[in-house]
Amino acid sequence: MINSTQVSYFILGAYFDTGLFKYLCFMIVMSLYVFIICANLLLIAVICMNRSLHEPMYLFLCSLFVNQLYGSTGLFPFLLVQIFSDIHTISAPFCFLQIFFVYSYGSIEFLNLAVMSYDRYLSICYPLQYNTRMTYKKVASLIAITWLLVFFVNFCTLPLIVPLQLCGNIINKVYCDNHSVVKLACSDTTVNNIYGLIVSALSVFVPLILILYTYMKIFKVCYSGSKQTRQKAVSTCTPHLASLINFSVGACFEILQSRFNMSSLPIMVRIFLSLYFLTCPPLFNPVMYGLKLSNIRVACKSLVKNVGF
């Protein structure tokens, strides 16, 4: 038996020898990371520098883009190092840190999308009361609660997994995740499982229920409302729904990959399924919001023109 005091590192078993293709893989991953950084930073700068965009919807978007930078930073630099490495290991402390990054990123994304749906609900269903209901103080409180609550809940996960007695140290992924470490445990994991269900309920199911409720109300208002109301709902809700579906599909891929044996699938498919929710939303969201929301599109063109590009 290998216990937790003897496990100083974990072996990431999903990596395989790509030979000379590792240089191509490195360039692709590096290009994706640079694009994520540039695209999200550009939109954060545009929102912060334009007073006309200091509205609740855009401030929540800014929080979303910051989270995508945060989540990408927890994955891409490590991924780039591993592509060039011949020995794919990760120290136990860094593994636990990566677990915190990955899970807090996912939880913040879901909660942020739920807060954004609540904002759209107030804007479309209560347009005359919107400014009094969604004040700047309330916006700041919702963003602060989202981040602080998630950090606290996920930080409490670490004292539960660090002391576990482990029977192995091989994680069949390209990064560390909580479920993979818990599956290696020889000791009782009842507390971990119960806490995992509570965290899942707080960070996934509650936000999804809130999102479903708000969109039911929005669709009801649109069905009985004016053409102008429907146009407003389509223009502001379509990007949000696309973001939600994109991230939810990626989260489902990750859950299926973690909970079920998918060894029959090609290794490249398994890697793609596990990385989707960490890579596709940060790539997809800045492009979609930049193209769909005219205010952001105009502000981006103005900023790029002013800096001389």
Check which CATH number belongs to the domain holding 33 and give it.
1.20.1070.10
Q: What is the residue-level pLDDT of the chain in tens, covering all 309 positions?
A: 444 445 788 988 888 777 778 888 899 999 999 999 999 998 998 888 888 888 999 999 999 999 999 999 989 999 998 888 888 888 989 999 999 999 999 999 999 999 999 999 998 888 889 989 999 999 999 999 999 999 998 888 888 888 888 888 888 888 988 888 888 888 788 888 888 888 888 888 889 899 999 999 888 888 777 777 777 778 778 888 889 998 988 888 887 777 776 667 777 888 888 888 889 999 999 888 877 777 777 777 776 666 654
Residue 3 lies in a domain: no
Condensed to tens digits (0 to 9), the pLDDT of residues 32-51 reads 999 999 999 989 988 888 88
Query: What is Dmax (Cα atoms) for the chain?
Result: 68
Domains identified in the chain, total number:
1
Residue 141 lies in a domain: yes
Residue 1 lies in a domain: no
Tokens (6 digits) for 93: 């402390």
Task: Collapse the DSSP code of 309 into the 3-class scheme (helix H, G, I; strand E, B; otherwise coil) and give the result.
Answer: coil
Condensed to tens digits (0 to 9), the pLDDT of residues 176-232 reads 888 888 888 887 888 888 888 888 888 888 898 999 999 998 888 887 777 777 777
Which residue's entry shows tokens 């994109």? 246
> Judging by beta carbons within 10 Å of its beta carbon (0-12, 13-18, 19+), is residue 63 exposed, middle or buried?
buried
Task: Collapse the DSSP code of 9 into the 3-class scheme (helix H, G, I; strand E, B; otherwise coil) and give the result.
Answer: strand
Quick one: which H or E segment has residue 11? Answer: strand 9-12
Residue 4 lies in a domain: no
Residue 2 lies in a domain: no
Which domain, by its residues, includes 243?
A: 9-306
Which residue's entry shows tokens 């007073």? 51
Residue 307 CB: number of other CB atoms within 10 A? 8
Residue 247 lies in a domain: yes
Residue 73 lies in a domain: yes
3-state secondary structure 66-94: HHHHHHHHCCHHHHHHHHHCCCCEEEHHH
